[in-house]
Structure 1
């Protein structure tokens, strides 16, 4: 294994690193290993090697592969939620600007990069049927769906658009999810900017008074 495959370790005081720091190292190593090896070939030994830490230490912190992958999934779900909620908080309060921020949030480098996408792809088929995800991640999905619906409803009211809010908000959500799936699995990757352009075209179709090809209209 090359040095590039290892997760960076603290240079000082590594033996006294906090429990949370160690767990974070292992989770980041799991993300990297999932992206590289896929779900079935991700093992505790491989994750420990990627982290540059001992097999015994990963057992101490997570006990089993299933628990480690569950923690990793929850971490990714929270990271995703933190990303879009922070984007909304920083955007202007206008519903068009908020929806643009929500769309752009899906394609920022910190969460939409080959390693993160690879890990999500490896987990995707496993998580949908797992009660553990429904227990810990379902609230995030409900919150996200409600936010998209609210923004679409506000835009429909502002623009007097003859749209059904349930249908439109569902199309927005599944389009964002579909573009992520395509970026995860496409044989010939394309720039994430192209995915964002597709979302703006969709927004233009539903909300032509509010969106142009480059995002929300500010005039």
Structure 2
């Protein structure tokens, strides 16, 4: 992870590549451990066991549990941001295509995994995490919200049916977050595909000329 919050690319040097790969291995092990045990119960020993390495090696790379958890949250935040911004850049020029891309990105199988969703829920749900979450993720969340509001404003103008784009964007964001929570907490959770269709059903309620429960009309 570099100073900008982006996921750092491994250096060409084999020694530094190994160090970067080891740190990523430990972050991935931390995500799995948090998913299995929760935030508070996660220890460096648990992470070492999950990664299949010694406790001392975890200490060497991260020194403290707090630093490991902070860098894990930074990693998840950078991964999430890169995912939706890349999806938006690859989308077509229309606001419907762009909204489809941003909403669909939340169900990309690279980030919409049981372990990652559980880790996000743990970071959201722990009161002691909230100051850290706001410090590390607040600006990313603001950028996402502003982008969603801008796309919705263009769709409202194009659609001609009226509506408050800020509130529409808020409902869409809350719906996405809600189905993520559902997939983690329901006794009989539904699939990511069903969660995505639920989100697009919400989009279709606001923009029936542009969406149905499968996404933007005419997509692909």
TM-score (norm 2): 0.87
- Distance, in Å, in 2 between the alignment partners of 1:76 and 1:16 is 22
Give the aligned partner of residue 163 of structure 1. Answer: 163
Structure 2 CA distance for aligned equivalents of residues 44 and 177 of structure 1: 29
**Equivalent residue, structure 2, for 1:130:** 130
**CA distance in structure 2 between the aligned counterparts of 1:48 and 1:192, rounded to whole angstroms:** 30
Superposed displacement of residue 128, structure 1:
7.6
**TM-score when normalising by structure 1:** 0.88
Q: Does 1:140 align with 2:140?
A: yes
Pairwise mapping of residues 28-67 of structure 1 onto structure 2 (< 5 A)? 28-67=28-67
- State the aligned residue count: 207
RMSD between aligned residues:
2.0
Does the 8 A contact of 2:148 with 2:169 survive in 1?
A: yes
Q: Which runs of 5+ in 2 are unaligned?
A: 1-13
Instruction: Summarize the Cα distance change of 1:31–1:81 in structure 2 as closer, same or farther, 3 Å threshold.
Output: same
Q: Conserved in 1, the CA contact under 8 Å of 2:27 and 2:72?
A: yes
Q: SS at 1:209's partner residue?
A: coil
For the residue of structure 2 that corresponds to 1:108, the secondary structure is coil
Following superposition, the deviation at residue 33 of structure 1 comes to 0.8
Residue in 2 that maps onto 1:210: 210
2:131 aligned with 1:109: no
- Looking at structure 2, the residues matched to 16 and 98 of structure 1 have their Cα atoms a distance apart, in angstroms, of 38
Kindly provide the CA deviation profile for residues 27-61 of structure 1, in whole angstroms up to 9, marking residues without a partner as x: 00101111112222211011011111211111121
Task: Give the superposition deviation at 1:64.
Answer: 1.1
